[in-house]
Structure 1
Amino acid sequence: MKYIYCIVLILITGLCSAQDVQLELNDPSPVYLTGIDYDFELKFDGCLTPPDTVLIYLDNILVESIPANPEKYGLQSSVSFTYQFQRSGAYRFSAAGYKIKTDLKVIPGWLSILPPLAAILLALITRQVLIALFAGIWLGALFIFGYNPFSSFLYTLTDYIGRAPADSDHMAILIFSLTLGGMVGVISRAGGTQGIVKRLSRFASTSKRGQLVTWLMGILIFFDDYANTLIVGNTMRPLTDKLKISREKLSFLVDSTAAPVANIAIISTWVGYEISLINTSMQELGLNQNAYITFIKTIPYNFYPVFALFFGLIIALSGRDMFSMHKAEKRAAESGLVLKPGSVPLADLSGEDLNAKKDAPLRWYNALIPVATVILTTLGGLWFTGIATLENSGQSYDTSGLVQYVSAVIGNSDAFSVLMWAAFIGSFSAIILAVSQKILNMNEAVMAWVSGVKAMVMAALILTLAWAIGNICIDLNTAGYVIEISRDLLSPRLLPVISFVIAGVIAFATGTSWGTMAILMPIIIPLAYELPLNDPVVSNATAQAIFLSAIASVLAGATFGDHCSPISDTTIMSSMAAGADHIDHVRTQLPYALITAAASILLGYLLTGYGIPAWLSLISGFFALLILLRLTGKKLTDKTYK
């Protein structure tokens, strides 16, 4: 439900006479949807007795008289009420003689889901991601700005695409991505990339080992999904190319470890955010529970991230693949084509100006030192900014255990700024190494850095458009509509399943996992606490399992939707870091994501809603994924995969 607070400003003249008053909307929406309840609050001067009825007029015709909840406090009084809009027009709210007028734009609720769906379908059909995203944004702007194609086109450029990078976090991600691309450009030109490939080849000498090393590196960089994606993808791409591992497979392994491991790691940039959402909702319920301990208890119920990590591991170990991923791996193994003919990699770092300079020494540490610098700077920066935030804000945090203390620090860090710092410091270290060893002169090093940045421009554009369509979804209240049409499906035992599906749909449509969590946590946590208590059939143990499972299902569903959405920033960054065609990455990963989601629903959330222990669901899911891969997965020959 979308909450809109209507604040009435009354000029106090010493008398409480009826008069027209000015209406202000706190966080107003450009459009309102049919079929959704909107909550309003009208505030009056305290000398007025708050009425118990609000009259609503549309175009000067009385359309409804709504019972209101009056409340008087101090020198002010207020009434709150709920209303569903049916059509656009000039609305007038009348209470106790006060008239509040405003023009509101109302559209059918189902229109709110069309822009993201249109963008996703167009991207999959046409393979033109930029055009598909722009079309989705334009369609949303068409609904918002009165169905005028010309003005909506202009507002698409100015109000959405133009403002998407203006968000400080978005700008930090763009700078981090572009700068890290520049660092990779210097490393490649100085011969460090080939040096690290030569060094890693001593162990990762086969496709199987190369995939395993990629998976392990994704697990080790657990502290942030963005850092994980760009570091693992850019580091492993030259090696996996040499081992004839398809770019589709590399991007899958990168994407399948980045967000999932950050989601369930007890210390990461995700955890602080997740804990804050859990804590806020539990405080509103009056629950005196430690939010961090509650989060730890939800990890066994966070089925999708756990199953995604496990599925990636057994795929790497077994050499078996299914559907279009098998075709991609077969193509790469037999012909050496790591990219499908005709595909367009999201970031192309294979150009002549990024190849190793002629006669450049292939020194592995010229790649390792800059990458290690990025990792260490990120860890140090997270700690430094987290401590500073806690000290400056005076926040209290749990110091009873090392893990809780570290989690509080990391959770309050400025992750986006830190990543930006790390990319620049890593770039400086790469340039210093190349110039000090006289492999490149300063001009050559700077030009290599610029070439690396240029290789990331396409991905940066797609990220910008993805954020823009996310803002369209916010203005159209897409998430609110999905929640509203799902309300009748909620029941205590099915709550974890429904929560997972709703979270997945919202994250898939909007491309944001964190936004999905923020929307659903305040709704699902109270339901997960109250619904089982009101059902006499549900035991206390099952009620506790449903509570933890429902919280985990929101986290897992958000990760699932984000994992397979072509407009998700982490999916885009995985394609970018792996140098894969974005649509090829989405098409090959989607079946695996759906299989993992099905296991999470059928063997996870459906069972825990009926009191089945989480450990039994995990074991059942592991065996199901193993058996499915064994029966339906196709293995490459021993000659191409060992």
Structure 2
Amino acid sequence: MDHSLSELANRRQDPNRGLRRGLLFLSVVLVASLSGHWLIQDGHYGAYALVPTVVVISMALITHRTLEALMAGCLSGFIILSPSSAIQDMALAGLEVMQQPTMGWIALVCGLLGALIGLLQFVRGTEAFSDSAGRLLTTRRRAMLGATGLGILIFIDDYLNAMTVSAAMKKLFDRLRISRSMLAYIVDSTAAPICLLIPFSTWAIYLAGLLESQGIASTGEGFATYLGLIPMLFYPLIALLVVLLVALGVLPALGRMRVAEAGDELVDDSSAEQADEVQRQITPRLINFVLPVTTLLLATWWFGIDALIGVGFALLVALALYAAQRIAPLNRMFDELLGGFQQMLLPLGIVFAAFLLQTVNQNLGLTETLVAWVEPLMQGSWLPGVTFLLLSGLAFATGSFWGVYAIAFPIVIPLAEATGASMGLTLGAMISAGAFGSHACFFGDSTVLSARGCGVTPIQHALTQLPYVLLAAGASAILYFLLG
């Protein structure tokens, strides 16, 4: 038995072992954070700005738990800022995060998507889709290519992509003995990267507006300018190429993915329950999956690519369809809706903690610190490559992707103009860095949703896909340096 298998076996025998080690590590970090507060002068935190990020990554690797690691990182940051009021400041910052419109939108979208998927599973709609797809996707290669194709097809929003593809393909992958980790990798690889490559998406709309606000494109021309940047989005392009090579069997299972594919992965599918008598009497019908999901996609697109409105219409259509068929009493269907919503509480908790971490990092000046360290290198032909590496690190460390764009554009664009660097490559590097962060960060929203939908933990998903993510990131960095 190799080291990875031994580690998994030990974790199963003593599930609290990692948590105890994590608490010991946290105790040391909190003492260091407390002492660090008194060493800081003039409000410049310097290297101490990295402490919350280091704590989050270290705790996650030690405990294999995401929410606890994020909260520990936040606590260490608030202690550095003000030891005497750290708990109070953390509580107030959490309240501010919950009051943000973005957090409210995410909570509603994710919760209602969970409710819709819970309803689809109850009426055996996902089972009907899996059975229908299984008649065509009869081999490992076909199933993986089918999942990739479905991910490309659902390009409107990364949240819709992550939740819909995982729900549709999970049973088929189980039947063909393909690991949940592999499915999570495919789902995540066709979330943010595809939203950037097919520009009729939430990501493209946001970036087009950002290009106009920064003066790169004139009013009304942001979308056309963004279209011209797509060939320079190296990370999304290479990430898509890599996942296709994996699906075709050209690239083998690497690292921890090899362990998962050998059938020894920890599945965290708490939403799976035994079918009761009511559910067993329901006949699986393909229309019960296809019509709500089609409504979800069309309504999202029709109403300005707003997933909240789309999922609202999808729920109404689903309930009307199932009530017309008299599949089950309405009170039972609403119970399933609430159960699906409850299954999203942990992912929502992780997203909330990631937003809280962003607040801590902002107060500590993490972005300004890292930019100041690498600014001597951000010049001329090196600018696109350095920009990609720096912003990729920031996006991964903070779990903020659109936020990194908003911060970086006003800094990097003047540097590109002043140094004569290629503006197109520099913009492509900045946008690609956000895609890397969304793909790689284990507490990023689409990564958490991909893991949750596929029934694995976020840290397990992040580690199993890591070799492929690093391969795409390394190739992208080389291209930005060479072409810069």
Q: TM-score range by the shorter chain?
A: 0.7 to 0.9
Quote the residue 1:330 is aligned against.
262
C-alpha contact 2:59 2:69 (8 A) present in aligned 1: yes
Match of 2:253 among 306, 321, 324: 321
C-alpha spacing 1:221/1:562, structure 2 compared with 1 (3 Å): same
C-alpha contact 1:222 1:261 (8 A) present in aligned 2: yes
Match of 1:592 among 464, 468, 480: 468
Distance in 2 of aligned mates of 1:564 and 1:531 = 30
Quote the residue 2:14 is aligned against.
none
Letter of the structure 1 residue corresponding to residue 480 of structure 2: Y
Equivalent runs, 1:269-288 vs 2, <5 Å: 269-282=202-215
The answer to whether residue 38 in structure 2 is matched with residue 108 in structure 1 is no
The answer to whether residue 375 in structure 2 is matched with residue 483 in structure 1 is no
The answer to whether residue 171 in structure 2 is matched with residue 238 in structure 1 is yes
C-alpha spacing 1:288/1:369, structure 2 compared with 1 (3 Å): closer
- Bigger Cα displacement from structure 2, 255-264 vs 431-440: 431-440
Structure 2 spans left out of the alignment, 5+ residues = 1-39
Match of 1:178 among 88, 111, 136: 111
Letter of the structure 2 residue corresponding to residue 300 of structure 1: P
C-alpha spacing 1:547/1:155, structure 2 compared with 1 (3 Å): same
The answer to whether residue 100 in structure 2 is matched with residue 167 in structure 1 is yes
Quote the residue 2:343 is aligned against.
455
Distance in 2 of aligned mates of 1:323 and 1:590 = 8
Letter of the structure 2 residue corresponding to residue 559 of structure 1: A
Distance in 2 of aligned mates of 1:501 and 1:113 = 16
Match of 2:328 among 429, 432, 440: 440
Distance in 1 of aligned mates of 2:155 and 2:277 = 30
Q: Deviation of residue 170 (structure 1)? A: 1.4
Letter of the structure 1 residue corresponding to residue 284 of structure 2: L
Quote the residue 1:17 is aligned against.
none
The answer to whether residue 230 in structure 2 is matched with residue 299 in structure 1 is yes
C-alpha contact 2:399 2:441 (8 A) present in aligned 1: yes
Distance in 2 of aligned mates of 1:269 and 1:289 = 17
Q: Deviation of residue 112 (structure 1)? A: 1.3
Q: Deviation of residue 275 (structure 1)? A: 2.2
Q: Deviation of residue 513 (structure 1)? A: 1.1
What does the per-residue CA deviation read over 1:29-77, in whole Å, with 9 as the maximum and x for residues that have no partner? xxxxxxxxxxxxxxxxxxxxxxxxxxxxxxxxxxxxxxxxxxxxxxxxx
Equivalent runs, 1:81-120 vs 2, <5 Å: 87-88=41-42, 106-120=43-57
Q: Secondary structure at the match of 1:249?
A: helix
Quote the residue 1:426 is aligned against.
314
C-alpha contact 1:255 1:563 (8 A) present in aligned 2: yes
Match of 1:152 among 64, 70, 86: 86
Quote the residue 1:575 is aligned against.
451
Quote the residue 1:141 is aligned against.
78
Letter of the structure 2 residue corresponding to residue 586 of structure 1: A
Q: Deviation of residue 126 (structure 1)? A: 0.9
Distance in 2 of aligned mates of 1:375 and 1:289 = 25
What does the per-residue CA deviation read over 1:564-583, in whole Å, with 9 as the maximum and x for residues that have no partner? 11121121111122222211
The answer to whether residue 68 in structure 2 is matched with residue 131 in structure 1 is yes
C-alpha contact 2:61 2:459 (8 A) present in aligned 1: yes
Distance in 2 of aligned mates of 1:109 and 1:292 = 38
C-alpha spacing 1:314/1:381, structure 2 compared with 1 (3 Å): same
C-alpha contact 2:443 2:458 (8 A) present in aligned 1: no
Q: Deviation of residue 287 (structure 1)? A: 8.8
C-alpha contact 1:282 1:289 (8 A) present in aligned 2: no
Letter of the structure 2 residue corresponding to residue 605 of structure 1: Y
Q: Deviation of residue 222 (structure 1)? A: 1.5
Q: Deviation of residue 172 (structure 1)? A: 1.3
Q: Secondary structure at the match of 2:227?
A: helix
Q: Secondary structure at the match of 1:112?
A: helix
Q: Secondary structure at the match of 2:262?
A: helix
Quote the residue 1:352 is aligned against.
274
C-alpha spacing 1:460/1:594, structure 2 compared with 1 (3 Å): same
Equivalent runs, 1:604-619 vs 2, <5 Å: 604-609=479-484
Q: Larger RCO: Structure 1 or Structure 2 (Cα < 8 Å, ≥ 6 residues apart)?
A: 2
C-alpha spacing 1:601/1:472, structure 2 compared with 1 (3 Å): same
Distance in 2 of aligned mates of 1:582 and 1:222 = 22
Bigger helix share: 2
C-alpha contact 1:354 1:448 (8 A) present in aligned 2: no
- Percent identity between matched residues is 28
Quote the residue 1:205 is aligned against.
138
Q: Deviation of residue 562 (structure 1)? A: 2.5
Superposed CA RMSD in Å reads 2.1
Letter of the structure 1 residue corresponding to residue 369 of structure 2: Y
- Give the TM-score, by structure 1 length: 0.66
C-alpha contact 1:189 1:354 (8 A) present in aligned 2: no
Quote the residue 1:367 is aligned against.
289
Letter of the structure 2 residue corresponding to residue 557 of structure 1: A
Q: Deviation of residue 140 (structure 1)? A: 1.2
C-alpha spacing 1:196/1:506, structure 2 compared with 1 (3 Å): same
Distance in 1 of aligned mates of 2:51 and 2:75 = 11
Bigger strand share: 1
Structure 1 spans left out of the alignment, 5+ residues = 1-85, 89-105, 332-336, 383-414, 533-542, 610-642
Distance in 1 of aligned mates of 2:398 and 2:452 = 20
Distance in 2 of aligned mates of 1:364 and 1:573 = 24
C-alpha contact 1:377 1:422 (8 A) present in aligned 2: yes
Q: Deviation of residue 159 (structure 1)? A: 1.8
Match of 1:500 among 356, 371, 388: 388
What does the per-residue CA deviation read over 1:372-409, in whole Å, with 9 as the maximum and x for residues that have no partner? 11111101111xxxxxxxxxxxxxxxxxxxxxxxxxxx
Q: Secondary structure at the match of 1:466?
A: helix
- Bigger Cα displacement from structure 2, 548-557 vs 262-271: 262-271
Distance in 1 of aligned mates of 2:386 and 2:349 = 34
Q: Deviation of residue 488 (structure 1)? A: 1.0
Quote the residue 2:442 is aligned against.
566
Q: Deviation of residue 260 (structure 1)? A: 0.6
Q: Deviation of residue 288 (structure 1)? A: 10
C-alpha contact 1:257 1:309 (8 A) present in aligned 2: yes
The answer to whether residue 9 in structure 2 is matched with residue 121 in structure 1 is no
Equivalent runs, 1:224-263 vs 2, <5 Å: 224-263=157-196
C-alpha contact 1:256 1:308 (8 A) present in aligned 2: yes
- Give the TM-score, by structure 2 length: 0.87
Distance in 1 of aligned mates of 2:188 and 2:148 = 10
Q: Deviation of residue 591 (structure 1)? A: 1.6
Letter of the structure 2 residue corresponding to residue 246 of structure 1: S
What does the per-residue CA deviation read over 1:295-340, in whole Å, with 9 as the maximum and x for residues that have no partner? 2232211100000011111110116221111221121xxxxx7xx2
What does the per-residue CA deviation read over 1:577-624, in whole Å, with 9 as the maximum and x for residues that have no partner? 22222111010112211111111112x111111xxxxxxxxxxxxxxx
Letter of the structure 1 residue corresponding to residue 443 of structure 2: I
Distance in 1 of aligned mates of 2:113 and 2:276 = 14
Q: Secondary structure at the match of 1:177?
A: helix
Q: Deviation of residue 123 (structure 1)? A: 0.9
The answer to whether residue 302 in structure 2 is matched with residue 380 in structure 1 is yes
Q: Secondary structure at the match of 2:135?
A: coil
- Bigger Cα displacement from structure 2, 582-591 vs 523-532: 523-532
C-alpha contact 1:354 1:452 (8 A) present in aligned 2: no
- Bigger Cα displacement from structure 2, 505-514 vs 290-299: 290-299
